[in-house]
A and B are shown apart, each in its own frame.
Chain A
Amino acid sequence: MELELPTLDGQRFFRLSDEQGRLVVVNFWDTECPPCVHEMPLLDKIARSHPDAIFVGVTVSDRNRAQNFLEEHAVGYLQLLGPHDPKGVLRRFGDPSTALPHTAIVRRDHSLCATHTGEVSLDWVNAALSRCRSD
């Protein structure tokens, strides 16, 4: 599985293939999606407690709107700008309904391990990370 998207600050492309050997948690979100916004502090907290995993947010908002939002709701993990037509990547990451928020965990070998559509809980993320780590 591959993911190649620009970082929200426009400085570089993030490529999943550059992160060999690490668990990756991908969270798709939108500034106008209340449950997406609600779960962000929790994801930020979980990201800091799992330094062996890379957390990335993928926004389907436009760049300015997302940057404005993050000025007020700062999170510590990397933020990417979603594709112009996000349904392809959402389907690829296990979200055929293209509903948000959607969170996917990718194993170290870059195969899809766990997905959740809707707001995540601490228990789900911890359990899924444990399972994906041991696979």
Chain B
Amino acid sequence: MFKQKLIVAASAIALSSILSAITAMADDIQVLPEVRVTGGGTDFSAPGSLRDEIIKTESITPQDIEHANATNVLQALDNRPGIAVQVECSVCNVRTINLNNMPGRFATLLIDGIPLYSSTVSFYGLDSTNVLGVERIDVSRGAATSLIAPEALSGTVNIITKRPDKKEYVFTPEIGNFGSYGGNAYLATPLEGGAVAFSMDYRKHDTVDGVGMGISQYTGYERATGGLAYFLDDIGGFKIHGRVDLVDEDRGGGPLGNDYGTIRASLTGNPQPFNFSAGPHGSPDPNGWVAPDGVSGPDTLSNGENGVLYNGGLAGISQIITTQRGQGTMIGERKVGEGTLRLAAGAAYHYQDSFYGADGIYVADQKQYYLESSYKAPFGSAIVTFGANYRFEDLKSHGFSFQTNPGLDETGRTPTNGVDNYLYSVPGVFLEVYHAFLNDRLEVNGSVRYDQHNVFGGITSPRLNVLYHHTDALSSRFAIGQGFRAPTSFFEQEHGILQDTIIVRQITKAETSDNISYALNYASDRFSWTGSANYTRIRNFALLSPGQCDPADAACVAGVATGGDVAPSPGFGTATLFTSASDPVQFRTVDWVGTYQVTPSTALSLGLEKDTYTFTPGILNFSRPNERVYLSSDYVFGGWDLFAKLTWTGRQDLKQFYDYVDNQQYNLDGTPKPDESPSFSVVDVRAQYRLNKRFAFFAGVNNLFDYQQAKHDSFLWVDSTGALDVTHIWGPIIGRYVYAGLRLEL
């Protein structure tokens, strides 16, 4: 690991030297295009602004990224109307992108329009997707927002790499509380016939426990990323650009500290010790917790109640994950006849080595390849695009369950190899026709694509987009479309898989979506706003149900049928069933967001979001809010940039989302978890002062008033028998974070 980090660092130094040398030869050489298409906004945008495109697209700009003090795509995206980051595990901090509050697997992340993000990277790789040297991040919500990514049922997030137009050598060291420090470097230069940019980021952060349990709520990490973006203006007539990125990350949660070797070797007792009495509704015994049914716990607690005394060592409640990833993209375009020929390719390799203390070991290798060819040209008065693409995805895993092999140390356990393996190979063709009417006031775009999936067969995905300019300032966008996603058995979607030895694939259909959306956008000199409504219905919603009987296991099945003792206890079965839900899941989002230039130096933004859902309780896994409100102000004057943002989140129906009827969640003292979460607010503030062109200082506080879920309602929960889990999540996982740094531009 350390060796690889050294390689990344050495590469950075070497590349910066090369850049300096090349730059010396290529001073001030630029090709001047005739115009630059703004798309309605470049590096300056604000909540309520839309890009000038037929598909509703919001841009997150470098200024937005700076205001959020973001170094990765999750920090850049979080807390915007219709866009949220969902934490799915309090000790490993798996985080996914929820567009319109739909599960993270339905959002597709694109790098310069290339889809290289799938199952593994969508769970632990997003924290490592850095946002250095980006021109903007485009977010399009709704199904069928991308012609080449039909699986984006909730929408797409497209990271657009900035082409360097001048020499830039920028260094940004930063330090904060919770033992956090890091920094990044961005080295870029235009060249004769192209441009090149190198970026590198290193971060370290401690595990954080806000309530004195000795069990972290925020996962510690050490992360290094590096990227090289390149632009070549004429290679055989092609204008080519692309990038190569490397990621190396270790993260660990549960026990405090990062002595992972000691944590993995500690298999018995309560050695840290963990204090299960700390926090709201803590257990009456610091060494264990209550079995709420009063009989299932194997132990007697210090107050005489029936319960479970913790005996799993540091390892028993830890999760330690190593992620390594490499990916590359290349896009080439050239004029052919009246039109433009586009060729694109991408490849990614992702390695995940996971130690899930109480559950097991899981190691995965994933390969992804992408190829695309398309041609776009005028056809009569229309513009026609047609092409083909091919996607390949191969996941291979191995590991073993601890719970099906109790009493043994790591080396003595039975492997459960490849339970969630899958290989998807998907060629597809697509056609898109664009036409403008009424002197360009009305724009219509229709498209259809056909994919031949190697497992789920042929699937057709149509869409229609309409943009109408009522006036120069007021426009409407309407979209209707369908998409599909081939469900994956990747275990992160259901940790219970680790306890099983087989996945029984009873799923026969891909997840499909029907989506309709409307947006009204107003853009004038001092005031811009967008109101939008979005409806999505997901059919064949994929389900992974662990701890079930393998239908081929007659004894197990017979036990279930008779209600006898042969049936496995929940979480201790032999099989995970991979099925589709019989009822569709529906998501409805209405939001309004606008920005007003109050004074020459101050802008105020307001966002309102209302969400409703139709779903079978428990099917969505994690709770989601019905209302959110966003309020921010930005003051820029005389070198100062002062930014403040308040995000209010309404109550969440925990009873429905966590399915209390079938699986009541309890506190460690045996009392039931609340049916609803409280509403809460989080305030972030940031100040930056630009001393001169080369130096700027910044400081900020995230979660200024220190609102933490763990101080109100623990992430830990037990079921009626006293089995412990770490996924009762509805609020902020970390308290007040104070940071400061400087930006140095040479």
Kindly supply a per-residue 1/0 record for chain B positions 592-608, scoring 1 wherever the CB is within 8 Å of any chain A CB and 0 otherwise.
Answer: 00010101110100000
Residues of chain B lying within 8 A (CB to CB) of residue A64: 636, 641, 690
> Of the candidates A33, A36, A60, A83, which one forms a contact with B524 in the assembled complex, judged by CB atoms under 8 Å apart?
A83
Residues of chain B lying within 8 A (CB to CB) of residue A131: none
* CB of A110, distance to nearest CB on chain B (Å): 14
Residues of chain A lying within 8 A (CB to CB) of residue B601: 6, 10
B21 at the interface (CB under 8 A from A): no
A62 at the interface (CB under 8 A from B): yes
B17 at the interface (CB under 8 A from A): no
| Structural contact, A30 and B38, CB atoms closer than 8 A | yes
Interface contact tally, CB-CB below 8 A: 144
Residues of chain A lying within 8 A (CB to CB) of residue B693: 68, 71-72
Given contacts A32-B36, A91-B472, A96-B440, contact A84 B597 (CB under 8 A): yes
A46 at the interface (CB under 8 A from B): no
> Of the candidates B473, B525, B638, which one forms a contact with A10 in the assembled complex, judged by CB atoms under 8 Å apart?
B638
| Structural contact, B603 and A84, CB atoms closer than 8 A | yes
B494 at the interface (CB under 8 A from A): no
Residues of chain A lying within 8 A (CB to CB) of residue B49: 84-85
Most buried by B among A11, A68, A87: A87
Given contacts A63-B636, A64-B641, contact A87 B41 (CB under 8 A): yes
A50 at the interface (CB under 8 A from B): no
B255 at the interface (CB under 8 A from A): no
| Structural contact, A99 and B38, CB atoms closer than 8 A | yes
Find the A residue at minimum CB distance from B31.
Answer: A34
* CB of B318, distance to nearest CB on chain A (Å): 43
**A80 to B41 alpha-carbon distance, docked (Å):** 15
| Structural contact, A88 and B637, CB atoms closer than 8 A | no
Given contacts A5-B525, A10-B638, A88-B473, contact A60 B41 (CB under 8 A): yes
| Structural contact, B35 and A118, CB atoms closer than 8 A | yes
B46 at the interface (CB under 8 A from A): yes
User: How many A residues, CB 8 Å from partner?
Assistant: 47
Residues of chain A lying within 8 A (CB to CB) of residue B36: 30, 32-36, 99-101
A92 at the interface (CB under 8 A from B): yes
> Of the candidates A2, A36, A59, A85, which one forms a contact with B41 in the assembled complex, judged by CB atoms under 8 Å apart?
A85
**A83 to B523 alpha-carbon distance, docked (Å):** 8
Kindly supply a per-residue 1/0 record for chain B positions 694-717, scoring 1 wherever the CB is within 8 Å of any chain A CB and 0 otherwise.
Answer: 000000000000000000000000
Given contacts A34-B165, A85-B40, contact A13 B523 (CB under 8 A): no
| Structural contact, A89 and B37, CB atoms closer than 8 A | no
Residues of chain A lying within 8 A (CB to CB) of residue B525: 2-5, 83, 88-89
Interface residues of chain B: helix, strand, loop or mixed (majority): loop
Residues of chain B lying within 8 A (CB to CB) of residue A84: 41, 44-46, 48-49, 528, 595, 597, 603
| Structural contact, B38 and A100, CB atoms closer than 8 A | yes
Residues of chain B lying within 8 A (CB to CB) of residue A68: 693
Residues of chain A lying within 8 A (CB to CB) of residue B637: 10
Find the B residue at minimum CB distance from A68.
Answer: B693
> Of the candidates B31, B38, B600, which one forms a contact with A7 in the assembled complex, judged by CB atoms under 8 Å apart?
B600
> Of the candidates B34, B45, B595, B641, which one forms a contact with A119 in the assembled complex, judged by CB atoms under 8 Å apart?
B34
**A32 to B36 alpha-carbon distance, docked (Å):** 9
| Structural contact, A118 and B34, CB atoms closer than 8 A | yes
* CB of B375, distance to nearest CB on chain A (Å): 22
Q: Chain B interface: which size bin?
A: 35 or more
* CB of A80, distance to nearest CB on chain B (Å): 10
Most buried by B among A30, A82, A86: A86
Given contacts A4-B526, A35-B33, contact A11 B45 (CB under 8 A): no
A65 at the interface (CB under 8 A from B): yes
Find the A residue at minimum CB distance from B190.
Answer: A34
Find the B residue at minimum CB distance from A7.
Answer: B600
Residues of chain A lying within 8 A (CB to CB) of residue B528: 83-85, 88
* CB of A30, distance to nearest CB on chain B (Å): 5
> Of the candidates A13, A83, A98, which one forms a contact with B39 in the assembled complex, judged by CB atoms under 8 Å apart?
A98
A97 at the interface (CB under 8 A from B): yes
| Structural contact, B43 and A61, CB atoms closer than 8 A | yes
Given contacts A64-B690, A91-B472, A98-B39, contact A86 B34 (CB under 8 A): no
B61 at the interface (CB under 8 A from A): yes
| Structural contact, B469 and A91, CB atoms closer than 8 A | yes
B14 at the interface (CB under 8 A from A): no
Given contacts A7-B600, A88-B523, contact A60 B38 (CB under 8 A): yes
| Structural contact, A34 and B40, CB atoms closer than 8 A | no
Residues of chain B lying within 8 A (CB to CB) of residue A33: 35-36, 42
B30 at the interface (CB under 8 A from A): yes
* CB of B239, distance to nearest CB on chain A (Å): 15
B583 at the interface (CB under 8 A from A): no
A113 at the interface (CB under 8 A from B): no
Find the A residue at minimum CB distance from B39.
Answer: A98
B394 at the interface (CB under 8 A from A): no
Residues of chain B lying within 8 A (CB to CB) of residue A45: none
Given contacts A11-B600, A71-B693, A82-B44, contact A87 B63 (CB under 8 A): no
| Cross-chain pairs A/B with CB under 8 angstroms, 6 sampled | A11-B600, A62-B62, A84-B48, A88-B472, A98-B38, A100-B36
Q: Sorted from nearest, which 6 A-B pairs have the closest CB atoms?
A: A88-B523, A84-B46, A6-B600, A10-B601, A87-B40, A85-B49
8 new A-B contacts at CB < 8 Å, known A4-B526, A60-B42, A61-B43: A7-B600, A34-B30, A35-B33, A83-B525, A86-B38, A87-B50, A88-B528, A119-B34
Interface residues of B (CB under 8 A from A): 30-46, 48-50, 52, 61-63, 165, 440, 469, 472-473, 521-526, 528, 595, 597, 599-601, 603, 636-638, 641, 690, 693
Interface residues of A (CB under 8 A from B): 2-7, 10-13, 30, 32-36, 38, 59-65, 68, 71-72, 82-92, 96-101, 117-119
